[in-house]
Amino acid sequence: MEAHPDSAMALLSSIDKQRLTGNRQKAHYALLMSMALDKNYIDTTSFDVLQPAIDYYLRKGSPDEKLRTYYYQGRIFQNKGDKNKALDSFVKGGDNVINCTDSLSIIRIYVAQAYLYYEFYDFDSYTNNNLKAANICRKISHTDYEFECLINALNGSIITGNLELTDSIMNLCNQFNILDERKKTSLSRYKLAYALKFGKKQEIEDLIDSKKVDLGSNINNGLDLALAYNVLNNNIRAKSILDYIAECGTPFDTIKYQSVYVSILEDIGNYKDALLRYRDFSARVDSVNKFKFEQKAKAVEEKHQIELMAQNESQRHSRIIWGCIGGIVVLSMGLFILILLFRSKKANEKLALEKARSKEAENAKLKAEKDMVALENERYELENKNLQLEMDKKALEAENLAHRVTELENESESLTALIAIICKGIKRRCLI
């Protein structure tokens, strides 16, 4: 994709999108195709290609995937001319930088932000973002990108008049040992701008003497050169440069052009034209200030809306949290009551079971006692019966004994009578 974007795009175009399955696969293809379009300098104003990536990666993507998606979303807004939405996308992409591993994408997101900050005349942010990009370029040894970012940061620091920061950036730029002619020309231009902003006339004169300016390559170089000649009181040379710039048909910084022209006309005594130029210059400056004010007012309003949304969201979250806490408390109380009821029920069931068991045990004991009494009664009855039988037996034996005694008595009487008869007989014999 980086080395041969045309081949990458041809390969992606050959893929049958109908065979892509799942949102992740479609999002991956959409992001790669958007990268290929951008790499091949095909500016699109439609989200048809990127939309699957936006729908999936902005919710479920990794930091790298989110950053790339926001970057190409911002590029589409930029192509549509919607700078505010473009910057918003780039800033949201920058929020994922901390956990991102794709250094080139981080550089692109910072440079994209810086470009729009320049468009919005926010030169502090323009400078800071270029410095962030340069720092990452230095870490990955991408010297060409690093130099370009430092040059842009140098421009921003000179515009804002931050001498300390400008000296620091200038020192970094001077550390590059090998520079091509384009980079040398660019650095010379900003050295002249530095001298015009912070230096003395001699420094400006030395730079002009040693400087070769190609007005065709960067017309704004001529504006700095014209201002330098104006500072050195060579207004004829300065005016000829400005006239050349006006006639060449190349876009240039009109505010700076008018500013230099007013100074030249004042120095040569043409106050009438100087006044006309100054009015035009003031109108352009007022227009820029109005734009900056509107941007700031819009930013303040948007910030206020965001704060209100954040406040409402915070209140909503608080309500949800407190609602959840209240729900949890109610559920906890309900659960606690249920637990108490369950334990009470269990205790009552246990008590009832113990009572039932105790009652059953008592009943069993009573039954056992009744059975014991019944057995005892039966035993008593049986003993009584046996006693009665014994008594009946004894009575019978007594009756039998009495009968025997009677019989014996009868036998005794019979025997006595017999003995008496025998005795009588014996006596008779004796007498005989």
Place of tokens 């104003």: 45
Q: Work out the pLDDT band at 210, boundaries 50, 70, 90.
A: low
Q: What is the pLDDT of residue 67?
A: 94
Please give the backbone phi and psi of residue 214, each rounded to the nearest 5 degrees, phi first.
-100, 100
Q: What is the pLDDT of residue 249?
A: 66
Sequence-distant (≥ 6) Cβ neighbours of residue 57 within 8 angstroms:
27, 31, 65, 66, 68, 69
Average pLDDT, the chain: 81
> Which segment of 109-113, 183-187, 313-317, 318-322 scores lowest on mean pLDDT?
313-317
> Running DSSP on this structure, what letter comes out for residue 161?
T
Q: What is the pLDDT of residue 301?
A: 45
Mean pLDDT of 115-138: 93
User: What are the pLDDT digits (tens) for 163-183?
Assistant: 999 999 999 999 988 888 888
Report whether pLDDT(304) > 50: no
For 118-132, give the DSSP string. HHTT-HHHHHHHHHH
Q: Bigger pLDDT: 314 or 371?
A: 371
Q: What is the pLDDT of residue 19?
A: 82
> Which segment of 65-79, 110-124, 143-157, 235-249 scores lowest on mean pLDDT?
235-249
Report whether pLDDT(306) > 70: no
User: What are the pLDDT digits (tens) for 260-288?
Assistant: 778 887 777 776 665 666 566 555 555 55
Mean pLDDT of 55-66: 92
Q: What is the pLDDT of residue 286?
A: 52
Place of tokens 């009573």: 366
User: How far is the C-alpha of 54 from the C-alpha of 70, rounded, in Å?
Assistant: 8
Q: What is the pLDDT of residue 257?
A: 72
Report whether pLDDT(95) > 50: yes
Q: Work out the pLDDT band at 39, boundaries 50, 70, 90.
A: confident
Q: What is the pLDDT of residue 213?
A: 46
Neighbours of 194 (CB within 10 A): 21
User: How far is the C-alpha of 186 from the C-alpha of 264, rounded, in Å?
Assistant: 25
Q: What is the pLDDT of residue 125?
A: 93
Q: What is the SS3 assignment for 216?
A: coil
Report whether pLDDT(289) > 60: no
For 357-374, give the DSSP string. HHHHHHHHHHHHHHHHHH
User: How far is the C-alpha of 165 from the C-alpha of 150, rounded, in Å?
Assistant: 11
Sequence-distant (≥ 6) Cβ neighbours of residue 154 within 8 angstroms:
166, 169, 170, 173, 190, 194
pTM for the whole structure: 0.65
